[in-house]
Structure 1
Amino acid sequence: MFRPLGTQRFNPPTSEFSPGPAPFLEWIETSKLMVDVTYQREIGRRGAVNVNQIAENFDWSKFAPVIVAPVEGGHFAIVDGQHRTTAAMLRGQEKVPCQVVQADRAKQAAAYAAVNGNITKTTAQQLYHAKLAAKDPNALALAEICLAAEVEILRKNLIRSEVKKGQTYAVTALNRCLAKYGRDTLITALQCITQTADGNAGFVRSTIVEALCEVLHEAPRWREAGEELLRAMDKFKFADAWDQVAAGRDKIFPSTASKMMAEKIQRFLSRRLGAGSIKDAA
């Protein structure tokens, strides 16, 4: 039994309609397909499993057209379909069906982010870099904050010993803190980590950043102390404080860890800088 499509149950769109040039379908040689590393993720371990599964069960009836955009040199950048194209190549296929869209790099990255935004295999960091390439205003604002605070949002996972000063995965927490506390508080909080002691490699963590933002938000005098604040935080031992928070616990909720860290930072700064708020003075 079949039924026709209908729109009766849906509200008509109210946004401006500007879909851009109509795409067209074409079989394209895989040798002409490229990956723009500016916004595309690498095929990691889980992705490799996915590629192998597609290749093992390869069937054109399950193969959605690859979304591509023309780039220089007669090549095409893959917007969506890197995994299934790689699987087709493993099966010896020299051409794949493609939906060709007319889009510059920013639009390609925006399309990638839109297509992959609700897929769990795309991490928050990967999505951030895609949105940054697409010149998303929120991503650009966060990038400016990271530049000011000497922070780098990593694209892929590293073992903890390889994480360098300022490197972090905590893009979700950074965005949350930016929305809740604002640009200046977030920059100062990050600088309390990256511009003190030896740079505190590995400690630009969500719980620590959120704890610092909470403390500085509640104590504007400390937030505005500038170099005096950084000199004080130069003596704060993030590693020791974290060990104390985690001591004797197999598991700790992030909200609990952040609260405990905030209390340690608040007590430390009260001793070093005096009362930072009415609450501290009470």
Structure 2
Amino acid sequence: MSLREVDVSGRAPVAPPLAPGEPELAWVAIGALRIDDDYQRPLGPKNWQVIVRVAKAFDWAMFTPVMVARLGDGTFALIDGQHRAHAAALAGFARVPALVVEAAPDAQARAFSAINTQRTAISTFNLYKAALAAGEGWALEAELAVRKGGCRLMTYNRSALTRLAGEIYAVGLVREHVAQGRARLVERGLLALRSCARGEDAELFKVGVLKPWLAALQEVPLPAEALAQFLDRFDILSVIDGVGQLKSLPANEGQSAFALARGAIVAALVEASGASAGAPLPRVRTVAKAAPAPKRVSAPAPKRVSAPAPEPLRPAASGVWTVERDAALIASQGRYAALAELAQRWGLTIQSVTSRWHRVRVAA
């Protein structure tokens, strides 16, 4: 446990405006609380879902005092905390701890507005760090899946210039996959990224790459070694970078950047594996042990069991694919903008053109 004091040394003193008096901490009967609908929010279905959830898991250690103001007739205006007060009542409690202030109705409304606009935002990193310290299941599972993938799920943010390969900042994305029972998918996907030839490139671990990459692996579930070998040949960063230009093509109108990137990765995976999207593939023996999470000084990438590369076959230039088109693909050098232009010129999908490019490149 790391404890620190409240420390304002080195800060210039601030003179607050004169207050009518110090607040008082007291237990207040829930039946004496009154809610002013002139400034308070009404309770809709979603609000009641939150209230019921809080009531079911009620714990005084997680209950902050409500803020109230005396109305003069033994009742109190509830300025802040109506969700907590309703949850306490639903859980069977008759009173709640309250901070009692002296405030006229207009001052109550100003206090409500200030409290709800000046709150310090709690980031995903803060929530994950707290959940990890509390031993919550989702946080432990997420941390383990990422660690087995040779990476580290970060508890704080860092500028793009100082991020390291293997540092995962997409806490929400990892949590979503783990919650859906896809911890092993996260492990395989990250291990492949760490093990490929560009595994020391921090760009590979950005959320813009991880999201379509992990989504594509749901369609084509290859083992980590095969995925790493695929990434050695497939320039996933060029695909992601070229998505912006793809969105401007008429054929892709209405499609999101995520959907286009995912589709291109799926097409390339299917082409490389010879399987259909969504079809189960033969299991290949995976790496026995994952590398430890990378520290500030980059740890070596986990070793990969090398499988013999299949002998390339010269693709047949028949049907839609002619010698001239294959030559144009080779001349494009796989640049995504060039492939997108060819797809538009030929009236084909970018997925089919990208797939053909990889086939021609291997056979060249």
Aligned alpha-carbon RMSD (Å): 3.9
Work out the CA distance in 1 between the residues paired with 2:257 and 2:22: 49
TM-score (norm 2): 0.41
1:167-246 equivalence runs, <5 A: 167-180=167-180, 182-199=182-199, 200-220=201-221, 222=222, 225-246=223-244
User: Once the two structures are aligned, what percentage of the paired residues are identical?
Assistant: 19
Which amino acid in 2 is paired with 1:121? A
Q: Is the 8 A contact 1:197 1:235 kept in 2?
A: no
1:22-61 equivalence runs, <5 A: 34-35=3-4, 55-57=14-16, 61=22
CA shift in 2, pair 1:235/1:63, >3 Å: farther
Post-superposition offset of 1:176: 0.9
- Report the structure number with the largest CA radius of gyration: 2
Which amino acid in 2 is paired with 1:238? I
Q: Is the 8 A contact 2:220 2:269 kept in 1?
A: no
Is 2:118 the counterpart of 1:149? no
Which residue number corresponds to residue 3 of structure 1?
A: none
- Structure 1 gaps of 5+ residues are 1-32, 37-42, 65-78, 80-118
- Residue 34 of structure 1 aligns to a residue whose secondary structure is coil
Q: Is the 8 A contact 1:174 1:206 kept in 2?
A: no
CA shift in 2, pair 1:134/1:244, >3 Å: same
Q: Deviations over 1:51-94 (max 9, x none)?
A: x7994538794799xxxxxxxxxxxxxx9xxxxxxxxxxxxxxx
Which amino acid in 1 is paired with 2:195? Q
Number of aligned pairs? 177
Q: Is the 8 A contact 2:209 2:237 kept in 1?
A: no
Which residue number corresponds to residue 355 of structure 2?
A: none
1:82-101 equivalence runs, <5 A: none
Post-superposition offset of 1:214: 2.3
Which amino acid in 2 is paired with 1:131? A
- Residue 218 of structure 2 aligns to a residue whose secondary structure is helix
Q: Is the 8 A contact 1:181 1:213 kept in 2?
A: no
Q: Is the 8 A contact 1:215 1:265 kept in 2?
A: yes
Post-superposition offset of 1:208: 2.7
Which amino acid in 1 is paired with 2:166? G
Which residue number corresponds to residue 69 of structure 1?
A: none
Q: Deviations over 1:103-143 (max 9, x none)?
A: xxxxxxxxxxxxxxxx6622101210111111111111111
CA shift in 2, pair 1:53/1:181, >3 Å: farther
Work out the CA distance in 2 between the residues paired with 1:54 and 1:138: 42
Q: Deviations over 1:191-219 (max 9, x none)?
A: 23222222231332334323223222222
Which amino acid in 1 is paired with 2:122? T
Which amino acid in 2 is paired with 1:201? A
Which amino acid in 1 is paired with 2:235? K
Post-superposition offset of 1:249: 7.7
Which residue number corresponds to residue 16 of structure 1?
A: none
TM-score (norm 1): 0.52
Q: Is the 8 A contact 1:215 1:262 kept in 2?
A: yes
- Structure 2 gaps of 5+ residues are 26-61, 63-118, 249-254, 281-364
- Which range moved further: 160-169 or 234-243? 234-243
Which residue number corresponds to residue 134 of structure 2?
A: 134
Work out the CA distance in 2 between the residues paired with 1:145 and 1:260: 27
Q: Is the 8 A contact 2:141 2:178 kept in 1?
A: no
Is 2:273 the counterpart of 1:273? yes
Which amino acid in 2 is paired with 1:216? L
